Structure formats: C-alpha cells, structure tokens
C-alpha cells in the first residue's frame, strides 16, 4: 500500500481549541499541545491517525464549512477547553450532538465549565515535563476507550436528546421513563453543586495559574509570603494576585522545601535537583505572620 493510500484510509482526528494570533502565548501553547502531546500519541501505534487543526486545512473553500465537516465526520475530536473559548464550545456542542468519540483537555489550574464538569477531562501543561507525560498517558487510555465504544458518545446533549425523544413518544412507558431520567439528571446536577461547594480545594503549586480562584490564590500566596517574609506591596489586589500567581506557576520548585524559587537557582549535589540558592530555604511560617496584610 502506498503512503497516499494509507493516508486516505487512516482514521482521522480533528483538534479544536484556542489558536490565537501568530507568536502569541496562546498560539505557542496550542502548537506545543498539538505537536508534543496530541500528535505524539495519536499519530503513532496503535492509532496512526491523521491529526489536523483548523489552521492546517489546505483544501480551498470556506474554512467554516470545512471545520464543521471535520467536527462532524472525524473519527475522533480532541477539544482543548483552555480559556473557555466560545468557538471551541460551539464546535464541541456540534460534536456532542453527533454522539461520536470526543476527548476533552484543559490547561492545569483552569476550571471546567459546570455543564460538562462531570465529563472526563485531561489536564495538561506544556511547560511541565511530568505533567505533559501524564497527559500523554491519559490521552492514550482515553482515546482507546472512546474509540472502542466505551461511553464515547455520552454527553449532556446526547442525554437530553434521548429524554426528548422519549417524552415525545406516544408510548406511556417511554413518557414515564423520560420523566424519571429528567429527575435523575436534575438530582445529579444538584449533587454536583453541593460537591463543588463543600469539596476541599485541590489547587497546589503544580496547578497554580492566573485563573485559579482569587480566594485560593490568597491562601496559597499568604502561606508563601509567610515563609519567604517577602510580601509585595498591594498583593491583595486581584490583578497583582494574578500576576504573582503567573510568575510563581512558572518558577522552578525547590527539591528541599517544595516552594517556588524566585531569584538564583542552586543545585542539590546529590542529584542536581533545583534548590534555593546556597540551600537557604525560607523559614517555616510563624503564628505572628498568619494574618495576610497588604
């Protein structure tokens, strides 16, 4: 079989997500996700899929129509939910309506919108090797599962359409089943609201980002400032909080104390792991510094 014939018969994967202008941070992250996570998994065995994205479409014609065709017809759609891009959710809703296999991804530290928060979503970080490798492993497992028929088409839209079909049936049993399914769906939504309200925060230094809820940022950064005794002026301002979080999220972690390293980075002699310069980690917090101040 020729390479051309193989490409024609290969399964296809279409990637939807925020792309952004050339040279923007969004484009750099999107390109890294495509090249080093998605393609590294899906273009090789056991998938050997043809993977492309909207900006890679070469065929002349209306780009919107071609995107819709790929969203509807691709064997697999991988949707990057990062930054909650409205175009992505439009295309994701279209894919959900087809009940065909789809995989969700989102940047570590960002929140999943409520309507699809119960859908399995893979967290990734293109700047963190360990997180990227874990994302690749999860993508492989999830792609195998949905392509194999394991709940690949289960989503809020498909579930709603099933209930609508049953409710419009003239069969009284179908109508009763529709009411039961609707009540179960309402109950599950209520449980998710309660879970989100009472569940402890899972945000850590590894998942910290500018999109982390401000209350969580204040807690983590207050602890950091307690230990480092360095509290920037006006740090409680939301924008300042976000800027500090963005900086700390990209900073290396000290292998000794686990805190981000701001400034010179040393190396631990045993394994060359990053540590605070000259091994001088911040002191532990004291009761007197427990209360945040501006």
- The predicted pLDDT at position 256 comes to 77
**Tens digit of each residue's pLDDT, the chain (294 residues):** 444 444 457 899 999 999 988 889 999 999 999 999 999 999 999 999 999 998 887 665 566 888 999 999 999 999 999 989 999 999 999 998 888 999 999 988 787 775 566 678 898 988 888 888 989 999 999 999 999 876 655 666 666 666 677 778 888 887 787 687 677 766 766 665 565 554 444 555 666 666 666 666 777 777 677 666 567 777 777 777 777 777 777 788 887 777 888 777 887 776 778 887 777 777 654 444 344 444
Range list of β-strands (E), the chain? 12-16, 50-53, 76-80, 102-107, 121-124, 265-267, 274-276
The residues pairing with 121 across neighbouring beta strands, listed in sequence order, are 104
**Structural domains counted in the chain:** 3
- Stated length of the chain: 294
Task: Verify that 19 and 129 share a domain, yes or no.
Answer: yes
Is the pTM here over 0.85, yes or no? no
- The predicted pLDDT at position 289 comes to 39
Q: Are 229 and 259 in contact (CB under 8 A)?
A: no
- The predicted pLDDT at position 13 comes to 97
Collapse the DSSP code of 43 into the 3-class scheme (helix H, G, I; strand E, B; otherwise coil) and give the result.
coil
Task: Verify that 280 and 220 share a domain, yes or no.
Answer: yes
Task: Verify that 34 and 105 share a domain, yes or no.
Answer: yes
Q: Are 259 and 253 in contact (CB under 8 A)?
A: yes
Task: Verify that 82 and 221 share a domain, yes or no.
Answer: no
- The predicted pLDDT at position 290 comes to 40
- The predicted pLDDT at position 127 comes to 86
Task: Verify that 50 and 166 share a domain, yes or no.
Answer: no
Tell whether 252 is covered by a domain.
yes
Task: Verify that 138 and 261 share a domain, yes or no.
Answer: no
Task: Verify that 70 and 173 share a domain, yes or no.
Answer: no
Q: Provide the 8-state DSSP code for 37.
A: I
């Amino acid at each position: 079989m020729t390479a051309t014939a193989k490409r024609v018969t290969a399964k296809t994967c279409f990637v939807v997500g925020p792309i952004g202008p050339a040279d923007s941070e969004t484009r750099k992250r999107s390109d890294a996700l495509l090249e080093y996570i998605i393609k590294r998994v899906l273009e090789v065995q056991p998938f050997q899929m043809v993977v492309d994205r909207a900006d890679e479409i070469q065929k002349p014609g209306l780009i919107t129509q071609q995107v819709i065709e790929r969203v509807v017809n691709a064997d697999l759609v991988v949707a990057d939910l990062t930054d909650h891009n409205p175009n992505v959710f439009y295309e994701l809703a279209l894919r959900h309506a087809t009940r065909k296999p789809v995989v969700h991804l989102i940047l570590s530290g960002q929140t999943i919108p409520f309507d699809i928060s119960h859908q399995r979503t893979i967290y990734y970080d293109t700047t963190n090797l360990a997180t990227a490798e874990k994302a690749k492993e999860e993508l492989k497992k999830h792609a195998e599962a949905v392509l194999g028929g394991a709940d690949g088409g289960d989503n809020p839209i498909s579930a709603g359409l099933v209930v609508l079909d049953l409710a419009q049936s003239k069969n009284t049993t179908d109508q009763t089943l529709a009411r039961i399914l609707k009540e179960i769906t309402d109950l599950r939504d209520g449980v998710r609201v309660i879970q989100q309200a009472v569940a402890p925060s899972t945000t850590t230094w590894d998942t910290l980002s500018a999109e982390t809820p401000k209350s969580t940022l204040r807690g983590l950064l207050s602890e950091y400032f307690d230990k480092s005794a360095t509290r920037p002026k006006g740090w409680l301002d939301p924008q300042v909080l976000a800027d500090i979080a963005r900086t700390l999220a990209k900073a290396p972690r000290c292998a000794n104390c686990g805190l981000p390293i701001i400034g010179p980075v040393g190396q631990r002699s045993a394994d060359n792991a990053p540590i605070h310069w000259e091994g001088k980690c911040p002191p532990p917090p004291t009761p007197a510094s427990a209360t945040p101040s501006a």
